[in-house]
Structure 1
């Protein structure tokens, strides 16, 4: 494990691209980087660490015709990853195809007691085709943990967390269910997919203690209008205190509107192509509202300021 130990709050931005990618160099990452009131306190002790974690493949199996489930033995630092954070994976070559850049991938599950991290990924490009060829005993370089994860709000009463996800977004949301349930919240997960065979994580989430609702294109229950009615019924039965989503632009737009009307705070985990994944290259910049309801836009780096963002500040794509 090559450590990239973090520095103090004194630097607002991370190191330059070449420095950030050189193993062993200091990368200034401050735990308060998303808090505008924290300033640049050089005495800050809440420093983050990332490393090139050399992980050993335990298994890498197909779960359906499109997705594989990768299970790795990981060093201690990698096991500190939280829901919504990600790793930048050095994907191996696939036949004659060699990935030029690492691939960002959100964590699917972390089991510290078993030294295990897991990923759920769709095989669709050069990088993931390389990942698909990994076998038991192979080594994978996973840079991380990276990014800003979900931040569950404190509630005065019983918390009810809604997870709304489609496709590969299901992988990102799964560990949030574990964290929310561990914190005493009730979790309802609405899982959307093209067909029942492509619905993933249902057993994982059910075993964790979440209520599961599956909607699919095949049975004509995944239409945005029907999902909106479903969410309103869920809220009427047990008020939702925090709403989250990942994986669908249409579901984002609907959830923003419903959450604003019902005054439900929320967050979204975004997927984005990245270069360095530590904020140095600015390859993952996208527009956001300056604040909820504002028409004025600002621009943020998904890897550095996210990939989890406020639901109402996120613009559709």
Structure 2
């Protein structure tokens, strides 16, 4: 078992705003602990993405949609990562004491992580950060993600379905081979629209038409996005025009994950004033209308 750290992630600014997706009370946030996880499955899904399943003690399996963990990556002959890597939750399974991650192998840390074998152990700090919330009274939400951002949005879609909220899911990728999590969205009965670079359907103009149709037909009481600055800006603009609240899960390089090192600070626009916030503790989920692109 890991030693529990005396730390509770704080609510992001504006969490109680009646105009944003956090109008209702947030569920209790799990405590944070540095625990030892055991790898029970670790497979390639395609040439870029790996699917990792760990058995871990509480509070790890109590993580909520949108939260993340700082995973300790092993040292290999080629790569010796010094810092842990932040990894968004793909699924939490309290009944079986498991936590799942879907990640893209892109650099030194994830290359090293990709080498870990079934049966090995690894330290994991979490669950960290502020997760997603759904407005009180929402009947349906629209989620828009790209690449590994779809892994972050899949638990949100399941949380919505568990609360009787419908989901329209727009899944963006370079090609059909790299569309992630389709089965997760299909399993909860989401209305799925796949848009691809390879056939031009991922063009922002086409995505905007899909979002407008969802809003006009009452299938978008709130917007959610992850994985693309371009898509975030599109959803942000439409949200303002149509008065639809939303949230965005931001990806950011991190070190401690606890807010002490200020490595993950980004700027946000709050009532016309630019504020600096830590993505690890005040996010990684933020109000869509306050997020600024890089």
Q: 1:160-197 deviations in whole A, cap 9, x for unaligned?
A: 11110001101111100111110110011100000000
TM-score (norm 1): 0.86
The CA distance in 2 between the partners of 1:35 and 1:226, in whole Å, is 32
SS in 2 for 1:257: helix
Contact 1:86 1:146 in 2 (8 A): yes
Who is 1:69 aligned against?
51
- CA–CA distance in 1 between the matches of 2:203 and 2:94? 38
Matched, 1:224 2:196: no
Residue number in structure 1 paired with 2:284? 307
Cα shift at 1:34: 4.7
Report the alpha carbon displacement of residue 29 of structure 1 after superposing the two structures with TM: 2.6
Give aligned pairs, total. Answer: 283
Aligned residue for 2:92, secondary structure, equals strand
Contact between 1:89 and 1:103, CA under 8 Å: does it hold in 2? yes
Who is 2:21 aligned against? none
Unaligned runs of at least 5 residues, structure 2: 17-27
Equivalent residue runs for 1:38-187 within 5 Å: 49-155=31-137, 159-187=139-167
Once the 2 structures are TM-superposed, how far is the Cα of residue 31 of structure 1 from its aligned partner? 4.9
Does the 8 A contact of 2:10 with 2:282 survive in 1? no
Contact (CA 8 Å) 1:31, 1:48: kept in 2 or not? Answer: no
Post-superposition Cα deviations, 1:283-302, rounded to whole Å, max 9, x if no partner, equal 101100023xx2x2010000
Which of structures 1 and 2 has the larger relative contact order (alpha carbons within 8 angstroms, sep 6+)? 2
1:114 and 1:165 map into 2 onto residues whose CA distance is 28
Q: Tell me the distance in 2 between the aligned counterparts of 1:200 and 1:251.
A: 17
How far apart are 1:209 and its partner, in Å? 2.4
Deviation at 1:36, TM superposition (A): 8.3
Residue 4 of structure 1: aligned partner: 4
Determine the C-alpha separation between the residues in 1 that align with 2:231 and 2:217: 21
Secondary structure at the counterpart of residue 113 of structure 1? coil
Larger Rg: 1
Counterpart for residue 193 of structure 1: 173
1:288·1:315 contact (CA, 8 Å) conserved in 2? yes
RMSD: 1.7
Give unmatched runs, 5+ long, in structure 1: 7-27, 38-45
Evaluate the alpha carbon distance shift between residue 178 and residue 222 of structure 1 in structure 2; reply closer, same or farther with a 3 A threshold: same
SS of 2:95's partner is: helix
**Inter-partner Cα distance in structure 2 for 1:133 and 1:139:** 12
Matches within 5 A, 1:226-265: 226-265=206-245
2:19 match: none
